[in-house]
Structure 1
Amino acid sequence: MTYETLQVSTGDGICRIVFDRPAAGNAINARMIVEFAAILAQCEGAGPDGVPIAIVVIEGGDDVFCAGGDFDAVAADGAAGDPEPLYDVWRALAEGPFVSIALVRGRANAGGVGFVAACDIVIAEEPARFGLSELLFGLFPACVLPFLVRRVGHQRAHYMTLMTRPVSAADAAASGLVDVLCDDVARELVRHLDRLKHLRKPAIARYKTYMATCRGDLDAGKASALAANRACFDDPAVIAGIRRYVTELKLPWEA
């Protein structure tokens, strides 16, 4: 597939996706959504080198991560189009069988916050800012909010929506929208990959499927917790790894 709005590189179980509409502030248009959906569908399997994709990294520019929806397209067409494909892209980041990581150096606004909130891990630098400006235009971030509420809670998402002003990276970290605040996201990514590369894709997929339904309710969650636990120990690869550790004192990834 030829990409018009993204830069994509894949190898060694990692897919890196970079927003590539700098003149438009990396704004989200219909083509970007189609391209993102196609890439994430491919990440369900293996890369060109045959290694299963276990990690997806998304990033923007130094000044702008993603400015949100493309207002030029809305002004020209008089409509924003169907929101479902973009929601499905965010859901794929949130629930897909890979670890999704957002690297944020600059401004993330509106739908850009949706991409951030949908990811499993968010690493940001101090200049990053996160805002929901929709109410200023008579809109509200209906599709962003389910992902944002999941990360920061109802009231923080509510306040952020009402105030419409960007919050700092430090405030975003305090709220839980950002997991790691650092001076250099590239260096911090390397540290994360050094650990994440040991995770097997089947384990990631099984965990994220379970976590998508886990709500912290001890009674309602009991049946699915027991079923998930039993499924883990029914996996021959899991048992083989445990036996190898007991007999050889070697972790599953060690030669």
Structure 2
Amino acid sequence: MPDIRGETLTARIDGGVCRLCFTRPEAGNTITAALVTEMDAALRRCEDPASGVSVVVLEGAPDVFCTGGDFEGIADDAPSNDPEPLYDLWQRLAEGPFVSVAVVRGRANAGGVGFVAACDLVLAEPSASFSLSELLFGLYPACVLPFLVRRVGRQTAHVMTLTTQPMGAAEALRAGLVDALDEAAEPLLRRHLVRLRRLARPAVARYKQYTAEMDGAWLAARRPAALAANREMFADPAVRAGIRRYVREMKFPWED
């Protein structure tokens, strides 16, 4: 696969490793329809055995990984806000025939935590933070939770949802949301790639399929309820009005 530079991300393959990088830090690397479409296309190419890809690395900017959904698109009633393509994208990261690695520097919020929780391995710098801010807007992270609970357990996900407070990198390491922490993520990633590159793609694919089945198809089983809950929340006029007010006035729903 040749190097790709899209509207929202870049994709580069080298030695069986595909590095996907969010490229809109000025907008918080928010999740737009274009981002989902471009990443879906990149992952589908990585799933092709002819690509030779056995590791997919997902990364953002030094100060921001991904801050979640595109509130401006929601405020403008953009037609492409259905959660199904994003849930399926996360499930592809979780269960695809490759090792998925999130490299987190800076802030990961809401749907950004979904990307993190979906990956097999999470590497972080001390600047990384993880938060679920949805309840502040009358929402809850319905589509994120199956992936987050699968990784860190129900109570930790419950506390993150209710408090809406950022979790620092060291705390995330203790909670199991982060697998390895270092002052510089790039050398940390290189150290992991030394061994990950040696894993045979067919073996990784079989292993990932086995673990999905061993989990009782956890993600697939929770998909219908997650999508239904997300659609119901975003259909609520009061919720949409609160989001619209936040985008236009930078005021939370409870502020005068």
TM-score bracket, normalised by the shorter chain, equals 0.7 to 0.9
Post-superposition shift, 1:78? Answer: 6.5
User: Kindly, what percent of the aligned residue pairs are identical?
Assistant: 59
Change (3 A) 1:173 1:2: closer
CA distance in 2, matches of 1:44, 1:190: 22
> Is 1:209 aligned to 2:209, yes or no?
yes
CA deviation map 1:44-64 (0-9, x unaligned): 025xxx551000000001111
Which residue is 2:190 aligned to? 190
Post-superposition shift, 1:70? Answer: 0.6
Which residue is 2:19 aligned to? 16
How many residues are paired up? 213
CA distance in 1, matches of 2:34, 2:78: 17
CA deviation map 1:45-104 (0-9, x unaligned): 25xxx5510000000011110010011111111677210000000000000000000000
Where does 1:229-248 land on structure 2 (aligned, <5 Å)?
none
- Is the 1:74–1:80 contact (alpha carbons within 8 Å) kept by the matching residues of 2? no
Which residue is 2:143 aligned to? 143
Which structure's relative contact order is higher, taking Cα pairs within 8 Å and 6+ residues apart?
Answer: 2
Unmatched runs of 5 consecutive residues or more in structure 1: 217-255
CA distance in 2, matches of 1:185, 1:62: 10
Which residue is 2:36 aligned to? 33
Q: Which runs of 4+ in 1 moved over 4 A?
A: none
Give SS of 1:43's match: helix
Residue type of the alignment partner of 1:35: E
Unmatched runs of 5 consecutive residues or more in structure 2: 217-256
- Is the 2:60–2:66 contact (alpha carbons within 8 Å) kept by the matching residues of 1? yes
Which residue is 2:54 aligned to? 54
What TM-score results when the alignment is normalised by the length of structure 1? 0.81
Residue type of the alignment partner of 2:147: F
Where does 1:76-91 land on structure 2 (aligned, <5 Å)?
76-77=76-77, 81-91=81-91
CA distance in 2, matches of 1:188, 1:134: 31
Change (3 A) 1:126 1:2: closer
Post-superposition shift, 1:8? Answer: 1.1
CA distance in 2, matches of 1:160, 1:80: 27
CA distance in 2, matches of 1:2, 1:181: 29
- Is the 1:12–1:51 contact (alpha carbons within 8 Å) kept by the matching residues of 2? no
CA deviation map 1:197-221 (0-9, x unaligned): 11000000000000112249xxxxx
Residue type of the alignment partner of 1:45: D
- Is the 1:93–1:100 contact (alpha carbons within 8 Å) kept by the matching residues of 2? yes
- Is the 1:16–1:58 contact (alpha carbons within 8 Å) kept by the matching residues of 2? yes
CA distance in 2, matches of 1:77, 1:215: 37
Residue type of the alignment partner of 2:211: M
Q: CA RMSD in A?
A: 1.5
CA distance in 2, matches of 1:51, 1:194: 19
> Is 1:3 aligned to 2:6, yes or no?
yes
What TM-score results when the alignment is normalised by the length of structure 2? 0.80
Which residue is 2:123 aligned to? 123
- Is the 1:140–1:161 contact (alpha carbons within 8 Å) kept by the matching residues of 2? yes
Instruction: Pick the structure with more helix per residue.
Output: 2
Residue type of the alignment partner of 2:74: V
- Is the 2:5–2:11 contact (alpha carbons within 8 Å) kept by the matching residues of 1? no
Give SS of 1:158's match: helix
Post-superposition shift, 1:2? Answer: 5.8
Which residue is 1:230 aligned to? none
Residue type of the alignment partner of 2:35: M
Max Rg structure: 1
Give SS of 2:7's match: coil
